[in-house]
Each structure stands twice: as structure tokens, then as C-alpha cells.
Structure 1
Amino acid sequence: MNWFTFLPLAVMLALSTVLGRVALPLHPSWSARLLAMTAAMTVLAALGTGAFVAINYAATLAPSAAAHVPEWALFGDDRPVPDTVGVAAALLTATGLAVTGRTAAGWVSELHTALAQAQAPLETDVPIAVAVPGRRGGVLLSRGMLRGFTAAELHVVFEHESSHLRHRHHRYAAAGALVAAVLPPLRPLNERLRLAMERWADEDAAEAVGDRGFVARTIAKAALAQPHTAGAVTAFADSGVVQRVEALLGTPPDRNTVTGPLLFMGNGFVTSSLTAATLQLDHALASCLLPLLALR
């Protein structure tokens, strides 16, 4: 075992921590994509690293069973995994998988509830509008929203929520919810991701309506009366209302037609290749460097 094993996790944790605290100078659409990919890859790195170390720890405890484990799943050297590392990896992995399962189950349950309610307006005077994904989904409004908002304001609401549905933002939200549940210190990453998704939908609505100020006023009006929600469905005035209104009252963000795709592709290439590179380094050290050191 060598410390290259933990390189993907260390890099992803560092990247997620930075992105959770530093605003990206990108169009919200590219910020959301980058943050969602980082969140998903960080969860994968955490669970994958833990499982990898746990498997090798089990092989340390039962060497005869290691013959039935694929070679790629074992370290490149025969040094045993320390008890402190192996036990911690096994416990953290089991906990992470349990949290992932519980989060996913809650997510599915919330979606089913939203789908069941999406067939008719919500019977509440609170102005609520949410995007419900799925074949039977759509834009779910409350009686309060229909009664208290003008036709022009409802147009803004529909454009905003349709953006969430069109871009499948529930998948982005799922990645953020997972990283926040499995790795609680990275909750700021989830919060920044949710804000980026809302800003993305705001910009789509502003482009469709043609009046950024009117979109900002509509969001502020809904936010004054709508309770906060954060889950599988995305509400109209869900996250960072003050930042969203200020952004809409300012200059439209650049589309980042070059820098956005390049950063997104670069991040995807780096994060997806870290595990494979680390595994190769691990076996390379075992097959090349360690024998050389033994000759000295």
C-alpha cells in the first residue's frame, strides 16, 4: 500500500472545497455543470477509495481469499494494510453507502409525492411553483400563485421552471444532495450548485421574456411569501434570492462559449482519469521502483 491510493480523493476534496467557497466567473449554466460534475466525482472518489482500501484490508486479513479477487482491485505491492487504515476505510465506506441509499430513497419518495400532486394546483394560498421531473411531471403551481400573479408574471414563472425541466436540473440537484449527505463539510458546494441552477433558469427566463428587471421583481414577489424548499423538486424562489435579484438587475453574464466548454471538458478529463492513473502508478511502483530499491 502507498499513499498514491488516496490521491484522487485528496484532489477531489480540495477541488470541492475551493469550488464551494469561490464564485466561478462563468455563465451559470457552465458553473452548474462544473459544480455538479465535481460533486458527483467527489462522492465517487470517496466511496471508491474507501471500498478499494477495505477490499485490500480484507485480503490482508485473509490472504487465501485474495486469489479470488481481480488483480486490478488489489494493491501493486504485498505490504499489509494497517488496521487503523483498514478498519476506518471499511466503517466509512459502509456509512457512506448507507447514507447514499437513504438519500436516494428519500429522493425517490419526494419525487413520487410531487408527481402525485402535479395533476392539480396545490390547495394553498402561498405562491408556490416547482418543476416536477418525469413523464407525468411538469410545472406545479399553487392556487396562491395563480390568484396572486398576473399573466405576465406567470409567464416568467413558467419560463423559469421550464428551464429546470428542459435542462434536467433534478440530476444536478441529486449530485449536490449526495455530496452534502456523504461528506457534510462539502455542503457549501451543494449550496453554490443550487444557486447556479436557479441563476441558469433565471437567465433563461429573462432571455425569453426580454425584461431582466421584470423577472427580478417577479422572483422577489414570490420570495416574500414562499417558504424555503430544498429537495428533489426545484422551487421558483428556492435559493439565493438576493443574489439572483442583484444579478438580474446587473449586466447579463457572458455566455462563455469557449472558456465554459473548455473548463468543463478539462475538469471531466482530469477527474475521470485520476483513479486510473493512480492505479497504474500503484502497480508501476510495485513492479519497477520497489525492486530497484530492494537492490540497494
Structure 2
Amino acid sequence: MIWLTFLPAVMALVVAVALGVVPLPLHPAWSARLLLTAAVSAMAATIGTLVFISINYAATLFPHAAERLPEWALFGDDQPVHAVLGVPVIVLTCLSALTVAKLSARWAAEVRHAQQTSQGVVESDVPLAVAVPGRDGGVLVSRGLLRRLDRSQLRVVFEHEASHLRHRHYRYLALGALAAGTLPPLRRLNARLRFSLERWADEDAAEAVGDRKLVARTIAQVALARSSADSATPPLPTFADSGVVQRVQALLTAAPDKNSVAGPVILMGAGLGAGLLASAAWQLDHALGLPIL
């Protein structure tokens, strides 16, 4: 066992936590992609490390069975994994697997329920608009929303929700929720990811209707009409989901640069960096064999 085994998980987690705090000077679309990449990298690196150590601890307990495992699945130094580390890691691995299964099942159930409801207008006075993914999905709206908004404002709402569907933001939300559920330090990053997705859809709606102030007014009006009882964070983003004040302020300024060069470069650099870090740690782990236990 060597300390390099933990390097990918630690570095990926540090980067993800930092991105949950540090503002990103990017278009919301690239911010969302970068935040998602960081969240998935941290989750994969952490769970992968736990599984890797669990396999090696199992090999310590059952050396004869370990002979059937490929060489890449075992530590390069052939040192046994002590129970003081192996037992907690196995517990954490099982808890992570249960958390992923539970969150995935809950997400699927909520999406199915939304798909069933999306076939009609929700009979509620609460102004509500939700982008429901899937073949049976669409834009789910409430009677209260239809009563409060005029035609131009309704177009803003539908353009906003259409952006969520077009860019498959539900996948970002599902992966972000999984990362935050398995790694609590990533909850702040997940909140910023949800906000970036809303800003992304806001900018798409503003570009489609050609009036940033109209989009800002519509968001503010819907948010003010929302009931105080409707404060829980839903699995799928509603039109006035989060960060309303910041979204309105952003829309009252000039449109952000689309970062057609900087965005892809930063995102590609983040992905390559994570891959190279994991590869280097694995190679050094097998090449050096520097035991820490």
C-alpha cells in the first residue's frame, strides 16, 4: 500500500471542492460542463479508490483467491492491507454503493411520476414550469402559471424549459445529485451546478426572445408568486428554482461571452488532467512500491 493510491481521489476532491467556492469567469454553459466534469471525476476517483483498496484487502484475507486476479488489480508492492484500513474502506464502499442505488431509484421514480403528470396541466395555483425528460416528457406547467403570465412571458418560460430539454440538463442534475449524495463535501458544487444550468437556460431564452429584461421580469414575477411552502429543492429544475436574485441581476447586464475557445480548452484540460493524474498514480503505484503501512 502506498500513498500514491490516494492521490487521484484526493486531488480530484480538492479541485471539485474549490470549484464549488471559486467563481468561474465562463459562460454558464461551460461553467456547468466544467462543474459536472469535476463532480464526476471526484466521485469516480473516490469510489474507484475505495473499490481498489477493498479488492486488495480481500486479497490479503484470501491469498489463494487473489492469485486469480489480474496483476493490475493488486498493489505493486505486494504489501498486505491492514484491517485498520481495510474494514472501514469496505464499509464505505458498501455505503457508497447503497447511496448510489438509493438515489438512482429515487430519481427514476420522480422522473416517471413527472412524465405521467406532464400529459396535462397541473391544477395548482402555484406558478410552476418543469422540463420533464424522456419520450413521454415535455414541459409541465401549472394553471397558476398560465393565469399569471401573458403570451410573451409564457414564451420566455417555454424557451427556458426547452433549453433544459435540448441540452439534456437532467443528466447533469442526476450526476450532480449522485456526486453530492456520495460525497457530502460536493454539495456546494452541486448547488452551483444547478444554478449554472438555470443561467444557461436563461441565456438561451434571452437569445430566443431577444429581450433580456423581459426574461428577468418573468423570472422575478414567477419567483414572487411562488408559495413559501414550495421551498424544497426539486429533483428537476423549476423555472424559478434557485438564485433568482443573481439570475435577474445577470440578465440586466450584457450577455456573457460564449467562450468558444476558452471554454473547450479549459474543459479539455480538466478532463485530460484528471485522466493523466489517475494514470500516473496507477503507474507509480506499481512501479515504485513505497509502502506506508
After TM superposition, the score normalised by the length of structure 2 is: 0.96
The unaligned stretches of length 5 or more in structure 2 are none
2:282 pairs, out of 259, 279, 284, with 279
- Cα distance between partner residues in 1 of 2:114 and 2:231: 16
**Aligned ranges 1:138-157 → 2 under 5 Å:** 138-157=138-157
Say whether the 8 Å CA contact 1:52–1:73 is kept in structure 2: yes
Identity level (%): 56
- Cα distance between partner residues in 2 of 1:255 and 1:233: 25
Query: How many angstroms does 1:114 deviate by?
Result: 0.2
Q: Which residue of 2 aligns with 1:67?
A: 67
Q: Which residue of 1 aligns with 2:56?
A: 56
Q: Which residue of 2 aligns with 1:260?
A: 263
> Is 1:182 aligned to residue 185 of structure 2?
no
CA distances 1:193-217 after superposition (whole Å, capped 9, x unpaired): 0000000000000011111111001
Query: How many angstroms does 1:71 deviate by?
Result: 1.2
Q: Which residue of 2 aligns with 1:16?
A: 16
Query: How many angstroms does 1:158 deviate by?
Result: 0.4
Q: Which residue of 2 aligns with 1:244?
A: 247
Q: Which residue of 1 aligns with 2:27?
A: 27
| Aligned residue type for 1:276 | S
Aligned length: 288
- Cα distance between partner residues in 1 of 2:187 and 2:170: 17
> Is 1:46 aligned to residue 46 of structure 2?
yes
| Aligned residue type for 1:77 | D
CA distances 1:122-165 after superposition (whole Å, capped 9, x unpaired): 01011100000011111110011111110000000000000000
Q: Which residue of 2 aligns with 1:85?
A: 85
Q: Which residue of 2 aligns with 1:294?
A: none
- Cα distance between partner residues in 2 of 1:84 and 1:225: 55
1:230 pairs, out of 227, 230, 233, with 233
CA distances 1:235-272 after superposition (whole Å, capped 9, x unpaired): 10111111101110112111111110000011111113
Query: How many angstroms does 1:83 deviate by?
Result: 1.6
CA distances 1:75-117 after superposition (whole Å, capped 9, x unpaired): 1111111222111211111101100110000000000000000
Q: Which residue of 1 aligns with 2:129?
A: 129
Question: How large is the RMSD of aligned CA atoms in angstroms?
Answer: 1.3
Q: Secondary structure at the match of 1:234?
A: coil
Query: How many angstroms does 1:228 deviate by?
Result: 3.5
Q: Secondary structure at the match of 1:68?
A: coil
CA distances 1:46-68 after superposition (whole Å, capped 9, x unpaired): 11100000110111112111111
Query: How many angstroms does 1:229 deviate by?
Result: 4.9
